[in-house]
């Protein structure tokens, strides 16, 4: 029997009862001793249109009570092979954008300093910038630029909005490339679609070497062909995985601020995530779940399920690292 943290036994306490934590795991005050830290980032101060992702972590905690203990395809039982817990929400500031970003970076820095791999739930996509800063500064990533596998409807590499504001959920990866946190030649974006502000909006990202796999190309090539390229692009070096829930078609995930029709199915997303075994992942997140636009919690359920898929990949990585 393992001494790792375990979810509350659903056969003893029904899944609708008890404290609301990620995966019904214990809530802990520190990431000390954890292999993987589940983190909430309830902040949507970077949202340019329909806010609401600040409510994401709480509702994903609720829907994550539907997750069970083992993955039915890979057979991975994450709580048997890694020590995992809910470390709570990072400190945020809902009325000051720059202070909000710096609080998130500080909070995440404390978590990654323990050696725990962070798996976080936003929050809007700007939350990924301070998380990447923290991960990149940690010894684990060795301050080398990270690769990134990015599921999204949007490239999020715009320059500025509203008179030169450089920090919004449409700009995080431009900033991260400029700051040397991400290696653009090892970034791949999947599912990009929808109208743009202007023709050539993605030219800057492409000129840096970012590989953009538009939804139309994904639909033509399919999961396996696309993932073979994705794995080739990121290689064996440190890589971050970020999953914007608006990559999923809004018929399956309506609760998000910037929905775009014609998106990934949840099944396609699962098939892709299950191919991430062996990628050197230094952290991952799920962002842009906005419960105020949701219907019956279905988008938070998508978020919680994607989180479980990623958790199984990360736990397997912990197991392999330990064996190495």
Cα dist. 51→45, 58, 217 in Å?
A: 8, 15, 30
Residues forming a β-bridge with 86: 27, 38
**Rule CB under 5 A: is residue 156 a binding residue for Mn ion?**
yes
Binds Mn ion (CB under 5 A): choice among 44, 86, 89, 244: 244
Question: If DSSP codes are grouped into helix, strand and coil, which group holds residue 212?
Answer: strand
Q: What counts of helices (H) and strands (E) characterise the chain?
A: 10, 8
CB of 245 to Mn ion, least distance (A): 9
Please tell me the count of residues contacting Mn ion according to CB under 5 A.
Answer: 5
Residue corresponding to tokens 């999020």: 156
Indicate whether 260 belongs to the interface with Mn ion (CB under 5 A).
no
CB nearer Mn ion, residue 88 or residue 259: 259
- By C-beta, is 71 or 193 nearer to Mn ion? 193
Question: Binding to Mn ion by residue 183, rule CB under 5 A?
Answer: no
Mode of pairing for the β-strands spanning 182-192 and 117-122: unpaired
| Only segment of 18-26, 208-216, 241-249, 301-309 that touches Mn ion (CB under 5 A) | 241-249
For residue 222, count CB atoms less than 10 angstroms from its CB and return exposed for 0-12, middle for 13-18, buried for 19 or more.
Answer: exposed
* Minimum distance, C-beta of residue 273 to Mn ion, in the bound complex (Å): 17
Nearer to Mn ion, 268 or 288 (CB): 288
Residue 284 Cβ vs Mn ion, minimum distance, rounded to whole Å: 14
Contact pattern from residue 125 through residue 144 relative to Mn ion, giving x for each residue in contact according to CB under 5 A and a dash for the rest: x-------------------
> Could you give the CA distance from residue 269 to residue 286 in angstroms, rounded to a whole number?
12
The verdict on whether omega for the bond into residue 46 sits within 30 degrees of 0, i.e. cis, is: no
Q: Kindly indicate which of the ranges 1-9, 23-31, 139-147, 152-160 contains the residues binding Mn ion, using the contact rule CB under 5 A.
A: 152-160
Piece in contact with Mn ion (CB under 5 A), picked from 73-81, 98-106, 120-128, 269-277:
120-128
Supply the minimum distance, in Å, between the C-beta of residue 26 and Mn ion: 31
- Identify the residue among 152, 183, 294, 309 touching Mn ion (CB under 5 A): 152
Shortest separation between residue 285's beta carbon and Mn ion, angstroms: 11
Task: Closer to Mn ion by CB, 44 or 152: give it.
Answer: 152
For residues 100 and 117, what is the distance between their CA atoms, to the nearest angstrom? 22
- Strands annotated E in the chain: 36-41, 84-89, 117-122, 146-151, 182-192, 211-214, 239-244, 281-287
Residue nearer to Mn ion on the CB measure, 156 or 268 = 156
**Using CA of residue 228, residue 230, residue 235, residue 241, what is the dihedral sign?**
negative
Integer angstrom CA distances of residue 102 from 32, 72, 264, 304: 22, 39, 33, 26
Q: Which residues bind Mn ion (CB under 5 A)?
A: 125, 152, 154, 156, 244
């Amino acid at each position: 029997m393992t001494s790792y943290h375990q979810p509350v036994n659903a056969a003893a306490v029904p899944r609708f009862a008890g404290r609301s934590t990620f995966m019904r795991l214990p809530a802990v005050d520190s990431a000390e001793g954890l292999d993987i830290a589940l983190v909430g980032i309830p902040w949507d101060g970077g949202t340019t249109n329909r806010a609401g992702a600040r409510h994401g972590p709480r509702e994903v905690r609720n829907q994550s009570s539907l997750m069970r203990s083992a993955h039915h395809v890979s057979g991975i039982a994450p709580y048997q092979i890694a020590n995992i817990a809910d470390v709570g929400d990072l400190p945020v500031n809902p009325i000051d954008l720059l202070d909000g970003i710096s609080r998130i970076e500080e909070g995440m820095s404390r978590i990654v300093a323990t050696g725990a791999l962070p798996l976080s739930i936003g929050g809007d996509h700007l939350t990924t910038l301070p998380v990447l800063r923290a991960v990149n500064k940690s010894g684990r990533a060795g301050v080398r630029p990270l690769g990134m596998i990015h599921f999204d409807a949007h490239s999020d590499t715009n320059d500025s909005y509203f008179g030169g504001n450089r920090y919004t959920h449409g700009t995080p990866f431009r900033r991260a490339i400029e700051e040397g946190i991400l290696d653009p030649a090892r970034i791949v974006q999947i599912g990009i679609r929808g109208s743009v502000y202007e023709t050539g909006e993605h030219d800057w990202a492409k000129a840096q070497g970012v590989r953009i796999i538009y939804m139309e190309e994904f639909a033509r090539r399919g999961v396996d062909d696309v993932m073979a390229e994705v794995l080739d692009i990121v290689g064996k070096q440190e890589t971050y995985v970020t999953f914007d829930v608006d990559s999923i078609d809004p018929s399956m995930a309506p609760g998000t601020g910037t929905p775009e029709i014609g998106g990934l199915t949840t099944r396609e997303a699962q098939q892709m995530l299950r191919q991430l075994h062996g990628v050197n992942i230094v952290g991952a997140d799920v962002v842009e779940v906005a419960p105020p636009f949701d219907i019956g919690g279905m988008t938070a359920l998508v978020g919680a399920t994607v989180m479980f898929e990623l958790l199984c990949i990360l736990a397997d990585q912990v197991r392999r690292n330990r064996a190495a």
